Each structure stands twice: as C-alpha cells, then as structure tokens.
Amino acid sequence: MKVAEALALRADAVRRVEQLKARIVANARYQEGEEPSENAAELLLEADTALEEFQVLVRRINRTNSAAVIGPDGTLTDALAARDTLRLRHSIVASAADAASGKSSQTSYGRQLRSELKMLSALPVADLRTRADELARQIRELDIRIQRANWEVDLLD
C-alpha cells in the first residue's frame, strides 16, 4: 500500500468515527417507554474498533513519513513541517499586506473631511504582496513533491 492510499483510509476512518460519534450522541438518551433506534453501547464498541484501526494507520503513516527521504527536502516529515511553516509564513505576510493596504480595517473609506486623520501604511504593501506570491509558489512546488512521494512511497509496517 502507498502512503496516499493510507492517507485516504485515514480520512475515511476519521469520517467513520465522526459518524459513529453522532449516532452515539443521538442514541445515548431516550424517552421512557420508547426504544432508541440504535444501541449506543454497541456503537461505542464499534467506535473503539474504528479508533484502533485509525491509530494503526496513523502510526504507520508517521513511521513511513519519518523514514522516507524525498530528496533535498529531507524526509517526508521534514517536507510536511516545511510546508506547514511556509503556510503560516504566507498567512502572516498576506495579512500584513492586507492590513497595511487598509483592506482589513473596518472603515474602508478614506477621509471625509480634511480635519480627519490620514492613515498611513507602516509596511511596503507591494513588497509584501510579491513576497506572499513567492511563498505561495514555494508552497505549491513543495506540495507537488509531497503528493508525488505519497504515491511513490510504500507504507511501512
């Protein structure tokens, strides 16, 4: 099995656990004289089984990510950490550009009267936008390398 397949199974397991949780909550209490539509205790056991399968998948994925070298990015774990950092950096730079341009302020209109204070940018908006675009490009390229590795690397036991 490839890492990408395991990731898909992990996502399915998370959905399954969430569905079981909703069913458990819906059937945890019932009105006297009526029967619940499903047995909440059995659903809890089913959820435990699904969670154990989920844990096995996550452990195997993490073990594989730590061992799989994907070139200059290091291991898959290193690449994932780099991608997460790039995403956070991009978010900060884009937010700074928005704030400096006045895009994020609650009052998006300019001065109405000459007596009102003029708002000035403390940051170079154009430079921040260029930097945000470069970070977005780096994220896309790294994400492509990660996705390629996910389809090429075999899942470890």
The 10s digit of each residue's pLDDT in 128-148 is: 999 999 999 999 999 999 999
Name 75's bridge partners. 69
Q: Tokens 């390398």 belong to which residue? A: 145
As a whole-number percent, the residues of the chain with pLDDT over 70 amount to 93
pLDDT at 105: 55
Q: Tokens 């499903």 belong to which residue? A: 38
| 94 neighbors 133 (Cβ within 8 angstroms) | no
pLDDT at 137: 98
Per-residue pLDDT tens listing for the chain (157 residues): 999 999 999 999 999 999 999 999 999 999 999 999 999 999 999 999 999 999 999 999 999 999 999 988 899 999 999 999 999 999 999 999 999 998 865 545 555 676 678 888 899 999 999 999 999 999 999 999 999 999 999 999 9
CA distance 55 to 17: 12
CB under 8 Å to 47, separation ≥6 — which residues? 17, 20, 21, 24
Model pTM score: 0.80
pLDDT at 153: 96
Return the closest-CA partner of residue 5 out of 67, 78, 83, 61: 61
Q: Is 105 helix (H, G, I), strand (E, B) or coil?
A: coil
Count other Cβ atoms within 10 Å, centred on residue 150: 22
| Domain regions of the chain by residue span | 1-67, 69-104+112-157
